[in-house]
Each structure stands twice: as C-alpha cells, then as structure tokens.
Chains A and B, each alone.
Chain A
Amino acid sequence: MQTKIVSKNFEIPHANSLEVALKNGRYTSLEKLFTYQPQEVIDIIKTSNLRGKGGGGAPAGAKWQLASDFEGKKYLVVNADESEPGTFKDRQIISKDPHLLIEGIICTCYAIGANSSYIYVRGEYEEFSDILQIAIDEAYAKNILGDEAKYPVEITIHRGAGAYICGEKSALLESLEGNRGHPRLKPKSPEPEFYFGEPTLVNNVETIASVPFIIENGAEAYTAYGTDCSSGTLLFAISGHVEKAGVYEAEFGVGMWDYIQKLGGGVKNGKKLKAVIPGGASTPILPAHLVMEAKLDYENLKSLGSALGTGGMIVLDEDVSMVKALKNLLRFYHHESCGQCTPCREGTSWVDKTLDKFINKTATLQDLEVLKSVSKSMNGQTICVFAPAASGVIDGFLKHFESEFLECIV
C-alpha cells in the first residue's frame, strides 16, 4: 500500500550523510535540471499537477510562475514550521533525507531564478535542524551549494521559537524579517509573497522534496500516481489510538479506513473506531461511518465536509469523550492565536473558557449557543485562516457529536 517517492531513502541507514545520499541517487536530478530552461522546469511542475503539501493543496506550478515572473532579486522560503497537531512528516525528510530537500531547493531556485533560500524550521525541532545543518554544510563543502556551485544557491536555516501561527506563510515571513508572527492582509489578486519587499516563493518541505522525482522522471511519472485532481503521493501521518503510529507515504486517493488498518495497524487495543480527524487538528472531524467511505484526496474529503489538510490523521477510539477532545483542541487554538485581530483573539479564548463549563458539567443551553455563535463570528472575518479553522473544528464536533455536549448541560 505504501508508495515511496519522497520516503524512498528513509529506511537507509545514514542517508542523511552526503556520502550515503550520493550512493542512493541524491542530486542525480540536477544533471537533467540544467538541460532545461527555468521556464521549462516550471512547466514540468505545472504538468505534474504538484500541489502544496503543507495543508492548502494549492497548485505549486502556478505559485512558482508568480514568483518567476518578477525580475530581480528573489527568494525561496521553505516552510518547515510543521506545527499542525497530528503532523510530523516534514521532520522525517529533514532528519532522514536532508539532501533530498537540498536537491529540491536547488531545482526550485533554478526554476524561479532565486539564489537565496531560507528554511524556516520550528524551534522545537532543534535536533532535526542540527542534522539538516550538517547536511547543508556538507553540500557547501562539495560545492553543491554556494557560489562555486553550477547554479549558486545559499541555504540558511532560520529557527522559529514556538509559535504555531508562523506556519502561515505571511506570518512566517514576518518572523523571518525579525517581527512578531502576525499574518499579513491578503492580496486581492494573485501575487507572490514578499520578503523585505522582494518577490518570494514559500513552499512546504514535502512539496520541495517532491520536485527532484518529477524533474528526474518527468511529470507523467508523477501523475501516474494518485487521482486526476490530486496527483502523486503524500507522506500521510497517523497517530492517536492506532497500533502503529507513524508516517507512511501513499498515493492520493487510497481509502482512509484501509490506510488506518493496513499501515496504522488498526485501532489500538482492538477497540472500535469513533472518529478520525483527517488532516491535522484544523480539519473538521469525521465520524466512523464517514471514515469508512473517505478517500485520502483533496476532493473526496472536501465532499465529506472536511479537508485533507496536511494528511496527518488523528484516530479516536470509542471511549474518547468528544467534549474533552474538543476542549483539548480549543485550548490549543486559544494558546496559539497570535492576538492580532479581534474575532480570533477574543473568540478563541471565549470558546475555550466556555468548553470548561461543559467539562465541569455546569454548561447551559446558552453556552451551547455561545459556541455556535462565536464559531460563526470567527469564520470569514479575520486576517488569516486560523480562526476559521478553529470555527470549522467546533462546527465539526457539534455537527456529528452534539448529543455528547447536550449531556453536559445542567
């Protein structure tokens, strides 16, 4: 059931070292890369239908084109902030096959015409960013990176310091500029991101790590995997109440329940499934009956009222209290709201505090109304999608498990 494209070298011992990496096919895509014009590379990415793997699933090629169309200084920023609960795939790439990421960065920089890149790694991943730094140093020493390289690229690791919101690309750039991680107002028409005013492409680690395969094997080799609209593979992650939590790469479109059973080893301790949060905490929860029909691709999960997100599934067994589970997530949103705009700053705090009353079984019907109305106020009225995500989480729990909340009302 596993399809190993990005994770091909994960099991190879010491694949993080340049020596082993070179023996296992790293940097071979570069030869082919330089036979193409940059625009040809972008076209290949467009044809491959590669989609952003950080959660949004936006077509990568179009984004590359936006950055590429600008003249002058440009930047590539790799988003390794990975802080969506239930998501732990990027750290596998960073620590098990860092040279794949470096190779991808070189390809991407070449395509869009950038020579400087930053990898924004979440602060907690110090051990992993240390591994990545060693790999970068090795690549510099061998002139794979730096001024002497065939195509000069600089890579600088920039460590975050504990803020979920910095995974949002504009907040990430603010952080990279030395500011608080406050998301920026969104442009009205498509444009690239900007770092200190210069056009910038921001892509997730896994997106960039998928590029070498496409360059080396062609767009068709990639679209051969997955579904029509969701091409290729994703490093799906599975955690919570499963026997074999972990990261297993699979084609888009595989059955969710199939995946949970075959790769995740099924629900822990032989318990029954209650629900799955399909793609990181911010995607609306799916009750067991929908899990059975769910397929792991963007379109299918959207049709079920949820989203694929990062592909990090959290499995909940039959004993889980949905009130407690929601409380856990709302506490997270409360803690991580950047506090910049009103609906999010006040809303996330209010729903979290209101949930306490359900936990203590002192809630009233009015508190349930508060949850619903605040959730509505948080949706579609903020600068970024943090509050709408929290809103979707609340709505998902109440849609499928409202009875459990009603039981807490005095």
Chain B
Amino acid sequence: MSFSFNETNNLKIELLSKRYPQKKALILPLLWLAQKQEGFISEEAMVKISELSHMPYMHIYSVASFYSMFRLVKNEKKVVEVCRTLSCELNGSQVIKKHLLENYSDKYEILEVECMGACGGAPMCTLEGKYIENVTPKMLDEVLNAN
C-alpha cells in the first residue's frame, strides 16, 4: 500500500516549500498533514515524507516518535485528553479522569496529558483537539453523548 497526499494537501505542500530554506524543515508540517489526512501517521506516509524532505526514513520515524501528539498507530476511536498537570489536578482533574474512564472508555480513547496551557480554565480536557475548559462530569455527559 502506498501513500500519497491528497490534492488540497499537495497544494499546501507546494506553498510551504517556498517558506522554508531547506526541505528538511517540512518534516513537522508534513507529519501533521499526513496525520490530518489519515487520522494517524502510517509507515507509508513516513516513506513519502522521507522522499519529500530528502531525509532518511529513520530520521522521520525518530522525529515522529519524539513528539507526543503524533500518533503512529491507527485508532478508530475519538480521542479525549485530560490534563493532569498541577493547576488541573488542584481543581479536580482526577474526578474528570475517573468519570471518563468509567463511562466512556469503550467509545473514546482516554488519554492523560501534561499541561495544555489552559490552567485558567482548570480542569480541562480536549475532544479531538478542541479545548473544553472548566469541565465538569455533567458537561462531559452532554458533549460526549451528543457526539
């Protein structure tokens, strides 16, 4: 199975190529585009990115594995991330996590993450990357059941 970027992404890549002095700098943008396109970053996608960035495959794999937001394994479930860092923990992130794990782990992939920069809205979680701040179990029920 081979991977290719779709037409919209190819246009984006063409524009981006002009913005960086070297192809190598495209690696993070390309990993994002691949993840957006397929929901995760496949081996085939990394092979493609290796070609486009003129870097060895292992370099792409090594870079992708460094950043916690890149997903190298396919998961059909939607992702809910709960922040566990101090301000959120002080404001009850454990309650949120427990509520999620007890009620939604079948349907959603529940992940604990470090500070998301939403300490002013602690506790917080994200649904498919979208921030939900000052979250309560009741809010979660409303949002997640509606999804």
Chain A positions within 8 Å of B, measured between CB atoms, are 82-88, 90-91, 116, 122-127, 154, 156, 158-164, 175-181, 195-196, 198, 237-241, 245-247, 277, 281, 312, 314, 316, 320, 324-325, 328-329, 331-332, 335-336, 338
A239 to B86, CA, bound (A): 9
A324 to B93, CA, bound (A): 14
The residues of A that contact B62 with a CB separation of less than 8 Å are 180
B137 within 8 A of A: no
A316 to B86, CA, bound (A): 10
Q: Is the CB of A163 within 8 A of B68?
A: yes
A290 to B122, CA, bound (A): 25
Q: Is the CB of A245 within 8 A of B121?
A: yes
Known: A85-B119, A122-B117, A162-B68. A156 touches B19 (CB 8 A): yes
Known: A154-B19, A161-B28, A178-B27. A281 touches B67 (CB 8 A): no
Known: A88-B118, A240-B87, A245-B121. A162 touches B130 (CB 8 A): no
Chain B positions within 8 Å of A, measured between CB atoms, are 16, 19-22, 24-29, 31-32, 53, 55, 62-63, 66-70, 84-87, 89-91, 113-122, 126, 129-131
Cβ 8 A contact of A161, one of B25, B68, B116, B121? B68
The residues of B that contact A325 with a CB separation of less than 8 Å are 86, 90
The residues of A that contact B89 with a CB separation of less than 8 Å are 324, 328
Selected A-B contacts with CB under 8 Å, 6 pairs: A85-B115, A124-B126, A161-B69, A320-B90, A325-B86, A328-B86
10 smallest beta-carbon distances between A and B, as pairs: A161-B67, A162-B69, A178-B27, A239-B119, A162-B68, A85-B115, A178-B24, A239-B87, A180-B66, A245-B120
A390: min CB distance to chain B, Å: 14
A320 to B89, CA, bound (A): 11
Q: Is the CB of B90 within 8 A of A241?
A: yes
Known: A164-B114, A177-B24. A159 touches B119 (CB 8 A): no
Q: Is the CB of B117 within 8 A of A158?
A: no
B66: min CB distance to chain A, Å: 4
A88 to B118, CA, bound (A): 6
Q: Is the CB of A178 within 8 A of B26?
A: yes
Q: A90-B117, A161-B67, A281-B115 are in contact. List 15 more A-B contacts (CB 8 A).
A: A82-B117, A85-B87, A86-B86, A86-B119, A88-B119, A125-B117, A162-B113, A163-B68, A178-B24, A178-B63, A196-B21, A196-B22, A240-B90, A240-B91, A245-B120
The residue in B31, B67, B115 that gathers the most chain A C-beta atoms within 10 A of its C-beta is B115
Known: A83-B115, A88-B119, A162-B68. A178 touches B87 (CB 8 A): no
Q: Is the CB of A329 within 8 A of B86?
A: yes
A359: min CB distance to chain B, Å: 13
A332 to B93, CA, bound (A): 15
The residues of B that contact A164 with a CB separation of less than 8 Å are 114-115
Q: Is the CB of B117 within 8 A of A175?
A: no
The residues of A that contact B119 with a CB separation of less than 8 Å are 85-88, 237, 239-240, 245, 312, 314
Q: Is the CB of A161 within 8 A of B117?
A: no
Q: Is the CB of A180 within 8 A of B129?
A: no
The residues of B that contact A160 with a CB separation of less than 8 Å are 28, 67
The residue in B29, B62, B66, B126 that gathers the most chain A C-beta atoms within 10 A of its C-beta is B66
A90 to B119, CA, bound (A): 13
A262 to B66, CA, bound (A): 42
